[in-house]
Chain A
Amino acid sequence: MTALRPDLAVIAENVAAGSSVLDVGCGDGTLLAALRDEKHCDTRGMELVPANVGACVARGLSVIQGDADRDTVFYPDKSVDYAILSQTLQTTMRPDLVLDELLRIGEKAFVSFPNFAFWRVRLSLLLRGRMPITRMLPVVWYQTPNIHHVTIQDFRRLLKDRGITIEGNWFLSGDTSCRTAAANFLAEHAIFLLSRAA
């Protein structure tokens, strides 16, 4: 699993070999290609940007152009082992509904997002009094696609409210993992593996 973005590497390591996956917001298909080639997964993807869909098709992947907020409804219930949403939750109109959709389509779901409570973000807001611009959040507030910033604590609360089970979680600071206990403060980036009792 070389050259994968750190959060994608975590997901790729923890997907069972030979399973079926749907990557919602799959970008240029890097993760899907790795899962197909190295884990022999049955892969499919959804992506908003046409050029990215073209890049996926050119890699031999099955990817449809679509919007995470609207177009997941056409996938049947429990049609894949894993639904994956990496770095996309915070860009959706209704993250809560998207989460429900992931767990309707997938037996389990991987969700990764940048943690808005990361200490550098907090410090930036505290000292400068302006919306933070960091490595994970590099775009000014009026142009950023991230319209629903979320912290690890917020996300855990949402999972509890909606009766979603945490099967696993991983936290990254830079490219290295960090402790679960202080994750909301120390982690730049969170990855959750989720399920929901039927």
Chain B
Amino acid sequence: MATAHTIDPTQVLTLDEPLTLDSGQTLPGVEIAYETHGRLNAAKDNAILICHALTGDHHVVSDHPLTGKPGWWVRMVGPGKPIDTDRYFIICANVIGSCMGSTGPASLAPDGDPWAMRFPVITIRDMVRGHVALLDSLGIDTLHAVVGGSMGGMQTLSLAANFPERARAVLVLASTARHSAQNIGFHELGRQAIMADNSWREGDYYGFEDSPEKGLAVARMAAHITYLSEEGLTKKFGRRLQDRSEKTFGFDADFQIESYLRYQGISFSNRFDANSYLYITRAMDYFDLAEEHGGRLANAFRRSKARFCLVSFDTDWLYPTSASRTVVQALNAAGKPVSFVELSAPYGHDSFLLDVPALDRVVAGFLG
């Protein structure tokens, strides 16, 4: 039965040259884990690059090797789905800095020890440099489209701005061209939770029995709240109690929402590296596409020949509609073809991953 899904289709590219980073440092021996679906045509012009979010990975369709859960975007990507693997060659690569196969702080440095906090601070553009190196190795000059939600949307915008000849269409879901003070604030909360965990050991916890899983769990709990809407939380949990009929007058997880967040925190700790969380959140905080282009966002898209489409969700308070509109206005000012729609969905920021039929129609329509 369905053996295709039990085989991990991960492929790994090792870069011959060190990757030069925005910080001025170089990263040697970079490995990029990725998976592909569908078939690249002879002209090599039917490829779509999908960029994953903060805690995502390249398992966009295939089962996750640690959790066994289906790929994170199976509802959107597959045969006959809005991102149709019968027609397009789909590439999804794990970002550098992550812990799911691409080089990150848990990988071994040239001296044979884990990088840990010696790993250079990376940016969204550095992640994109990794993607572009992968496209080069696959012989793909120009993508049919680059697609991403949340942090994936940042990579998508960065690719459009910095490598304008590499994609003909750019689809950005629930994302932003810069991290706001509120965004940075929530990330700093998460990082401090990790660093406050004694098991963090200034990042040198590899090889020890214990890792900063409690700190990482707290970081995930805080972040998870930002991914959901108040309306969604109220509908799903309200003030309902967890497996009990009365409050205990203690600090157990009395409420369902507490139990849910604790579970989310722990299960995240079991699959993700705390140092990767530090590095990737830092990359997101540093992201400001206008700053990279002389302070004017419109300048970022000056050289682009791509079509753009942006989608926001009315209950997303992490990257609200105003963040998408800022990008749309810059693209208008630059005279670029752009579509934009704010969709109504109850799930908050996570809406782009969930069942929103109107999103399916927009994605399928835009990709053509």
Task: Give the B-binding residues of A (Cβ under 8 A).
Answer: 44, 50-51, 53-54, 56-66, 74-76, 79
Q: Which B residues between 205 and 251 are near A, CB-CB below 8 angstroms?
A: none
B14 near A: Cβ within 8 Å? no
Contact B337 A62 (CB under 8 A): yes
B139 contacts the other chain (Cβ, under 8 Å)?
no
Chain B residue nearest to A20 in the complex (CB): B335
Contact B342 A50 (CB under 8 A): yes
Contact indicator B365/A64 (Cβ below 8 Å): no
- Chain B residues near A64: list those with CB within 8 A: 328, 332, 338-341
CA of A123 to CA of B340, assembled, Å: 43
- Please measure, in the bound complex, the distance between the C-alpha atom of A99 and the C-alpha atom of B338, giving whole angstroms: 23
Asked, given contacts A58-B362, A59-B365, A60-B368, whether A53 binds B341 with beta carbons under 8 Å apart, the answer is yes
B332 and A57 within 8 A (CB): no
The answer to whether the Cβ of B255 comes within 8 Å of any Cβ in the partner chain is no
Q: Is B60 an interface residue (CB 8 A)?
A: no
Contact of A65 among B307, B340, B361, B366 (CB under 8 A): B340
Q: Chain A residues near B308: list those with CB within 8 A.
A: 62
B365:A53 contact, CB within 8 angstroms: no
Given A57-B362, A75-B332; A50-B341 close (CB under 8 Å) = yes
Given contacts A50-B344, A54-B358, contact A60 B365 (CB under 8 A): yes
In the complex, 25 of the A-B residue pairs with CB atoms within 8 angstroms, ordered by the A residue number, are A50-B343, A50-B344, A50-B358, A51-B358, A53-B339, A53-B341, A54-B341, A54-B358, A54-B361, A57-B309, A57-B362, A57-B365, A58-B361, A58-B364, A61-B339, A62-B339, A64-B328, A64-B332, A64-B338, A64-B339, A64-B341, A65-B342, A66-B340, A74-B332, A75-B332
Across the A-B interface, the 6 shortest Cβ-Cβ residue pairs? A58-B365, A62-B337, A64-B340, A74-B329, A53-B341, A57-B365
Residues from chain A with a CB closer than 8 A to the CB of B364 are 58
B333 at the interface (CB under 8 A from A): yes
